[in-house]
Chain A
Amino acid sequence: MTKETVDKVVIFFAGDSGDGIQLTGSQFTNTTALYGNDLSTFPDFPAEIRAPQGTLAGVSGFQISFGSSEIFTPGDECDVLVVMNVAALKANLKRLKKQGTIILNLDGFDKRNLRLAGVEEDQNPLTDNSLADYRVIDMNVTKQTRECLSEISIGIKEKDRCKNMFVLGFIYWMYNRSLEHTISFLNEKFGNKIDILESNIKVLKAGYNFANTCEISSSRFEVKPAKMKPGVYRNIMGNQATAIGLIAASQQSGLDLFYGSYPITPASDILHELSKHKNFGVKSFQAEDEIAAVSASIGAAFGGALGVTATSGPGVALKGEAIGLAFMLELPLVIINVQRGGPSTGLPTKTEQADLLQAMYGRNGEAPIPIIAPRTPSDCFETIVEACRIAVEHMTPVFYLSDGYIANGAEPWMFPNVKDLAKINVPNKDLGGEYFPYKRDDKLVREWVTPGTKGKEHRIGGLEKEELTGNVSYDSDNHEKMIKTRENKVNLIAKSIPLQELDSGKEKAKLLVLGWGSTYGAIKTAMKDVLIQGYSVSHAHIKYIHPFPTNLGEVIANFDKVLVPEINNGQLVKILRDKYAVDAIPFNKIKGIPFESREIKNRIIQVLDGE
């Protein structure tokens, strides 16, 4: 038996949405993270919870890229494709590189499964030679699982549910991983269901031992721990980082966290995560609809809480009027949009960056709202804390634009210590002189006075208000003045944010690749290659989209051309053209999936060589 050392591996797990693929993927991820590899993951699941078994519509997938050097994306092509049935193979074979490895469950390739996947019997991929370019490792996962559990008295359905553990055990052996983490996970999950716990562990070990003893798996791979910056790490998903960041912002500001939300894919996991942490004083409120969720958060903010609401694009559409109210009242509010494919219901479980213009302009009247976007799963932490800081310190609603890709993706994170986190300053200091609700400080921020404060009783509302007093005013000059004042207040935020920096490349070059949000990993990976190849190109990634960093115009001016890759039909590019009159080149992908780094690389080369 050989043990081959490789630098990087991409595995794609695929099976029925009921096969436990996401669990298999996340277990492999956590074990791999603990082993010390750098990694990036991307789950790909259908919108239906249990689509018809065996069909293409029901295929659930999970991709992980891990390695002994830095990893920024879940990878383009896969080295290994694990499939539990015909449909999973049919849907995902295109992801596998030539000469790649297929690990397949023979029991998922019977007549019934062929029929369900819409494959004629004479086109059975096992026999029609269509897999000749790949290395196929086949095994009877279902049969072996059942045999392994023959002496345990649980139903056949329960037994079959353990089959993902067989595959996991097999892969653990292939990549020389320990079973320890998964066994302790199973203990925690099934601790009081002894039969189920025992079965899962038994099957996990059986898969591991099968790989060890059988001859089909002729090689074993070693992926050494990555050389990462010294420090303490954990594995983190984007939505999880967002939830933890909200709790951190609550503590750093001394404000109670109120989280009003209505379940929606792919934002619901933030609600689930926060609901687990009531011992931090978190008030999570599952409202009756999107409008109630944002309205309740505004009510909580009026009462002095850190009001946060989260949703996806369709929910933001519903919240629009209330967001305008928060803007008009000048109360802090954080609006999380975990973007998904649109328009309308669109592609709920797929990713897209197509709500940027909605965040920028999607309200009646002149209502500019700050926008901030995280770039990777772990960056969600820092970015949501920053969103809360801007909301509170500047008394304004703030949009936080995550997306399905980084929300569900995972990566190792060198998490901070609480002592290193900055405090958030609550603008509740008396501004001096007679109190008026819309008296402002030098940043044009009003004092946040909450009910219970004696002597400062006041009324606020959605009608235009007289400057200073906040009394209702229909005066035309006052209206224009207030529009400008509120706009200036938001623009002044630019003074409290960092200048735009380049992520890679030189300060002056031929081409600037200017991205935002979740395209970061793909651009960064592509940049490594093109810089080695000597191309004159740099990369900047914008976190603060409104207002932009004050030097962004100067940064852009140092380049002949600007390329703007986005997972939409061209949105940031419109804002850049509007603001800087720059003839930026849009590069768009609107397929519900992230960029592959090679797509970005090819486009960069095309732009530069096409001169």
Chain B
Amino acid sequence: MENNIYTSKDFATDQEVRWCPGCGDYSILKQVQSVMPEINVPKEDIVFISGIGCSSRFPYYMNTYGMHSIHGRATAIASGLKASRPDLSVWIITGDGDSLSIGGNHLIHLLRRNFDTNILLFNNQIYGLTKGQYSPTSEQGKKTKSTPMGSIDHPFNPLALCLGADSTFVARTIDRDPKHLREMLKRSNDHKGTSLLEIYQNCNVFNDGAFFGMTDKQTKENQTLFLEHGQPLLFGENHDKGIVLDGLKPKVVSMDEYSKEDLWIHDETDQAKAGLLSRFFDNDLPRPFGVLYCEQRECYEDALHNQIDKSIELKGEGNLDDLLSGNNSWTVD
């Protein structure tokens, strides 16, 4: 198909968008709509599948095929869809409750099977649609309606979990950085296999400012680390800080004392180092954004169709009359 026959407006529907004013979801919707014309897929071949939660209203606002399904099961539904229709571009919209709590099981199994789908995991560290209970990514001690004395749950580290499930593509971005968000959406789309993109998304009603330090002008340079393949891990104002590896331990160093060559050079094909990066989490290290890990591995749907082809090659295309009669029939006159 020809490039850019669509504009982002072609992907908007006539449905009124009903997220709270100021919700981070608006920004994500806008960027997804604006990236769609660039992926060069006819819109009738694109499907958005979501579960339940604020973010899961997303498919109603995309003028493609879509399904707003049930809580936690978008990943499982998308698996069946992709298995039967490998030709489609399948996008999964889910939240931290949907994918990591009620749907945690299906998420890890989708990742290990590596269906060629794109997961956009909107992480706002709270239950929004049910009006403000803590989620599996809420920090310990968080006071919410269901945890007036503070949450006693240890939270999930989503990217570490996904790497543990042998995800072939793990990335992180944030709603307030449209440029990076667009770039990550494109990378997710380009990856053949399951792409897991965690999107930090601000819930301005129930968990406002959860990522404040990573978006505020005063602090974001020191609290965020933007990864680029083959580039050293630099951050801070004017990139005045870097990360070196001391054995298996990452260490923040001042660029006054170190040169770029001394630093940890990001290699998105290194699973072990991706594991370390995913653990840059509440430990005085900057939060990494970008592609932490990317590898090529056979997709389930391809393996499935290969087996079918091989079976046909070995046994010939199935003959129903032969199947009905079996190997041991007899005639009664």
Contact = CB atoms under 8 A, between A and B. Distances in A.
B105 interface: yes
Contact of B88 (A248, A258, A452): A452
Q: Which of A291, A302, A418 has the most CB of B within 10 A?
A: A302
B191 to A, nearest CB: 21
A118 interface: no
Interface string A309-341: 000000000000110010001000000000000
Interface in B151-182: none
A453 B52 CA distance: 26
A51 B325 CA distance: 36
B105 A280 contact: no
Contacts of B187: none
B35 to A, nearest CB: 17
A228 B315 CA distance: 34
Contacts of B83: 258, 283, 285, 296, 299-300
Interface in A287-314: 287-289, 291-292, 295-305, 307
A455 B44 contact: yes
A242 interface: no
Given A288-B105, A305-B84, A415 B64 contact: no
Interface residues of A, number: 71
A36 B328 CA distance: 12
A181 interface: yes
Interface in B294-333: 304, 307-308, 311-312, 314-318, 320-321, 323-326, 328-333
A452 B44 contact: yes
Contacts of A235: 326, 328
Q: Which of A228, A230, A236, A450 has the most CB of B within 10 A?
A: A450
A287 B76 contact: yes
Given A289-B105, A300-B83, A247 B318 contact: yes
B235 to A, nearest CB: 38
A298 B77 contact: yes
Contact of B68 (A303, A415, A462): A462
A230 B333 contact: yes
A303 B81 contact: yes
Interface string A258-293: 101000000000000000011111110101110110
Contact of A251 (B65, B320, B332): B320
Interface in B236-289: none
A457 B325 contact: no
Contacts of A298: 69, 77, 80
B79 A458 contact: no
Contact of B330 (A34, A229, A283, A472): A34
B316 to A, nearest CB: 7
Contacts of A230: 332-333
A281 B318 contact: yes
A417 B321 contact: yes
Contact of A451 (B52, B65, B312, B330): B65
A454 interface: yes
Contacts of A300: 80-81, 83-85
B13 interface: yes
A278 B306 CA distance: 10
Given A234-B326, A451-B65, A281 B80 contact: no
Given A299-B84, A329-B67, A454-B44, A244 B324 contact: yes
A232 interface: yes
B67 A457 contact: no
A179 interface: no
Contacts of B85: 300, 303-305, 450-452
B109 A472 contact: no
Contact of A285 (B68, B80, B315, B317): B80
Contacts of B73: 291-292, 295, 322
Interface residues on B, range: 35 or more
Given A283-B84, A296-B79, A452-B85, A459 B59 contact: yes
B321 A288 contact: no
A6 interface: no
A343 interface: no
Nearest to A298: B77
Contacts of B320: 247-248, 251, 280, 418
Given A329-B67, A417-B321, A292 B105 contact: yes
B129 interface: no
B43 A299 contact: no
B171 to A, nearest CB: 24
B130 interface: no
Nearest to A252: B320
Interface string B103-132: 001100100000000000000000000000
A605 interface: no
Nearest to A244: B323
Nearest to B106: A292
A295 B78 CA distance: 8
A309 B290 CA distance: 39
Interface of A: 30, 33-34, 36, 181, 225, 228-236, 244, 247-248, 251, 256, 258, 260, 277-283, 285, 287-289, 291-292, 295-305, 307, 321-322, 325, 329, 415-418, 450-463, 471-472
20 contacts: A30-B328, A230-B332, A233-B329, A277-B318, A278-B311, A279-B315, A283-B308, A287-B76, A296-B77, A296-B83, A299-B80, A300-B81, A303-B81, A418-B321, A458-B65, A459-B65, A459-B66, A460-B67, A461-B60, A462-B68
Given A277-B323, A304-B85, A457-B44, 19 more contacts: A36-B332, A232-B330, A233-B332, A244-B323, A247-B318, A247-B320, A279-B314, A283-B84, A285-B80, A291-B76, A295-B69, A295-B70, A295-B79, A418-B324, A451-B85, A459-B59, A459-B67, A461-B59, A461-B69
Q: Which 6 A-B pairs have the closest CB atoms?
A: A296-B80, A461-B68, A299-B80, A280-B318, A295-B76, A299-B81
